[in-house]
Amino acid sequence: MNNRRNVEIVDIKQLSSDVFSMWVKDEEIASNGKPGQFASLYCNNETRLLPRPISICEINKDEGLVRFVYRVVGKGTKEFSELKVSDRINILGPIGDGFNLEGKNVLVVGGGIGIPPLLELSKHLDGKKHIILGYRDEVFLDDEFKQYGDVYVSTEDGSSGTKGNVIDAIVANKLLEDNEIDMIFACGPTPMLRGLKDFANKNGIKAQISLEERMACGVGACLSCVCKTKEKDHHTHVHNTRICKEGPVFYANEVEI
Amino acid sequence: MFNNEINMSVNIAGVEWKNPVTTASGTFGSGIEYSDFVDLNALGAVTTKGVSNVPWEGNQTPRIAETTSGMLNAIGLQNPGVDVFIERDLAFLKEFDTNIIVNVCGRTERDYCEVVEKLADNDVDMLEINISCPNVSEGGITFGQNCDSVESITKAVKKYAKQPIIMKLSPNVSNIGDIARAAEAGGADAVSLINTLTGSKIDIHRRKFELANKTGGLSGPAIKPIAIRMVYEVAKAVNIPIIGMGGIMNAEDAIEFILAGASAVAVGTANFTNQRATLEVIAGIYDYMKKYNVKDINELIGCVE
Ligand SMILES: Cc1cc2nc3c(=O)[nH]c(=O)nc-3n(C[C@H](O)[C@H](O)[C@H](O)COP(=O)(O)OP(=O)(O)OC[C@H]3O[C@@H](n4cnc5c(N)ncnc54)[C@H](O)[C@@H]3O)c2cc1C
Ligand SMILES: Cc1cc2nc3c(=O)[nH]c(=O)nc-3n(C[C@H](O)[C@H](O)[C@H](O)COP(=O)(O)O)c2cc1C
Ligand code: FES
């Protein structure tokens, strides 16, 4: 991986009351980034020492641009939301091991702020794609997915799509009955991933899930970002693995969540 | 890059370092991951993550939390154990022209001695004995908080060690000078300080501790003033060299430690913010020496008035 870089923001937009979309100019991630990988974004405020891991939402290889879509949940993401076009930000990436592009008839399942990385993924998957996007209430990015597959929405308050969660939407739309699904790709909050892991196992389908954990180094050195594993990990030699290095995407059955 | 008329090399307990900068244990792995960013040959020494006799799983997650100008960690000394360490990490590090300092941890005196004995005939330049980790229930800090146990564990590891021993001191004590004297009395060849300060953080929305371990070790610029004061106190208390650390983000911070009495410095949390922090510290010390016409870094050690 290349050194941390100070990159320019070329576009920044608000997508919902607390979700922002930002395009930066970075040849490195634009040429080498893969769906499911992420970047470390550093705060300009020096009292905040640790990088914020943010997934690659989209890449524009020709123009050397990378898109991040993030929700304001704390001080760092608040700072990022206040950046303007031509401001600069330090980033490191692409980081981690992303999705394996496989399957002929697949479910792409995102929950909340887990949805953004699935956009670049959906661009690259061959075969039939059923894209299920779960929100609490406000929807974002759903329109942009429509060019890559059939989109189904769920909201907890029922304001759009199926009322309930992503599994309710999969069931309500008979996606398993009507298709021979051979892979599930998922990113979202842990309870959703846990639910999907069970759902995938019950239905005998393989699943790739993208996990989150607090990170300090973002390069595999500090062991803050680990997740429990079923087997002994080849690097750590204990039953846990580094999400920033071996992940963030894992086969659901390799990890304990 | 460096002019030969300026001497940056220091001698720590008989080991020659090309410059006074190493990595703080646990913030740099064994250097493998950071070798993408840092030419390890440029460092005075690489200090590894703590190594124990058998693999340790470490604590539950979340293991870290950010604080204002600092961070808390409760990794719990996860490591693959000394055998894997020798076979993989040491084999990697040996290829570089730098000193290798292996940080050693344990639950009992026997654990420490076992690791030290296994490393004795390996290509390791120095050993740093961590008697100051606040994040494990047994061992670690419990050895580092009173003078008798510091002296006795130092004596114990010295029996097995073939390399110079650096005792790594905890700041969570009432008199760091006394602790350093106990280490010196036990035969320590050098001391390093400070390890992290025990702290905690609460998420007020969830009304829960941010760390699974509830408490963790505070590091980063927030602890630097305490570290400077402690290095100064220890420099007055003992005659063995001091490796200073705690919140070093840049060369100015490092020079403060040297002026306070440290013969060498370690860069820790800064590696998380800037992967090349160690290299920038080295270059900045050189620039400072040039600016103030200091010919030999050793002239700066402990020269604060
Ligand atoms: C691999 C990965 C990919 C991610 N991709 C995205 C994305 O595309 N869009 C997005 O909005 N969010 C994403 N997140 C979550 C994002 O990293 C956090 O929301 C963000 O770090 C919060 O920072 P803050 O300063 O606003 O919050 P604060 O709560 O003030 O942050 C304090 C500290 O906790 C860390 N932290 C807080 N929440 C999380 C979290 N959920 N995961 C990891 N660290 C956290 C911060 O990095 C910081 O070090 C991703 C997380 C991971 C691990
Ligand atoms: C994530 C993390 C892991 C650490 N692991 C170890 C360790 O294994 N052994 C040890 O002696 N100190 C360990 N430390 C302490 C550091 O080596 C250092 O003493 C402390 O962080 C202060 O320096 P800093 O402020 O520059 O980080 C760790 C610190 C951090 C932040
Ligand atoms: S964040 Fe340091 S190992 Fe993953």
The domain locations on chain B are 10-299
Q: How far does the CA of residue A5 sit from the closest CA of chain B (Å)? A: 10
Structural domain contains residue A145: no
Query: Are A35 and A83 within one domain?
Result: yes
- What tens digit of pLDDT does each residue of B181-201 get? 999 999 999 999 999 999 999
Residue B4: predicted pLDDT: 67
CB contact under 8 A, B69 and A47: yes
Residue B168: predicted pLDDT: 97
- What tens digit of pLDDT does each residue of B246-260 get? 999 999 999 999 999
Token digits for B252? 């100015």
B133 is annotated as an active-site residue: yes
- Contact (CB, 8 A) for B302 and B242: no
Residue B143: predicted pLDDT: 86
Q: By three-state DSSP, how is residue B196 classified?
A: coil
**Confidence bin at B140 (pLDDT 50/70/90):** low
| Predicted ipTM of the assembly | 0.95
| pLDDT at residue B1 tops 60 | no
| H, E, C per residue of chain A | CCCCEEEEEEEEEECCCCEEEEEEECHHHHHHCCCCCEEEEECCCCCCCCCEEEECCEEECCCCEEEEEEECCCHHHHHHHCCCCCCEEEEEEEECECCCCCCCEEEEEEEHHHCCHHHHHHHHCCCEEEEEEEECCCCCCHHHHCCCCEEEEEECCCCCCEECCHHHHHHHCCCCCCCCCCEEEEECCHHHHHHHHHHHHHCCCCEEEECCCCCCCCCCCCCCCEEEECCCCCCCCCCEEECCCCCEEEEHHHECC
State the total domains in chain A. Answer: 2
Nearest CA, atom 17, ligand 1: A53
Residue A179: predicted pLDDT: 87
CA of A152 to the centre of ligand 1 (A): 26
Residues in A 117-136 with any Cβ partner in B closer than 8 A: none
Query: Are A18 and A126 within one domain?
Result: no
Residue A53's CATH number:
2.40.30.10
Structural domain contains residue A155: no
Query: Are A77 and A189 within one domain?
Result: no
Structural domain contains residue A114: yes
CB contact under 8 A, B55 and A238: yes
Residue B137: predicted pLDDT: 64
Atom of ligand 3 nearest to the CA of B33: 3
| pLDDT at residue B133 tops 80 | no
Superfamily classification of domain B10-299: Aldolase class I (3.20.20.70)
Query: Are A56 and A180 within one domain?
Result: no
Taking only the tens of pLDDT, chain A with its 257 residues reads: 789 999 999 999 999 999 999 999 999 999 999 999 999 999 999 999 999 999 999 999 999 999 999 999 999 999 999 999 999 999 999 999 999 999 999 999 999 999 999 999 999 999 999 999 999 999 999 999 999 999 999 999 999 999 999 999 999 999 998 889 999 999 999 999 999 999 999 999 999 999 999 999 999 999 999 999 999 998 999 999 999 999 999 999 999 99
- What tens digit of pLDDT does each residue of B152-166 get? 999 999 999 999 999
Query: Are A40 and A59 within one domain?
Result: yes
Q: Are strands A128-135 and B99-104 parallel, antiparallel or unpaired?
A: unpaired
Query: Are A236 and A126 within one domain?
Result: yes
Question: Which residue from A221, A224, A238 is facing B63, i.e. has the nearest CB?
Answer: A224
Query: Which residues are within 8 A (CB) of A6 and not within 5 positions of it... i.e. 6 or more apart?
Result: A88, A89, A90
Task: Supply the range of the domain harboring residue A239.
Answer: 105-136+166-256
Query: Which residues are within 8 A (CB) of B207 and not within 5 positions of it... i.e. 6 or more apart?
Result: none
Q: Which residue has the tokens 């930066």?
A: A24
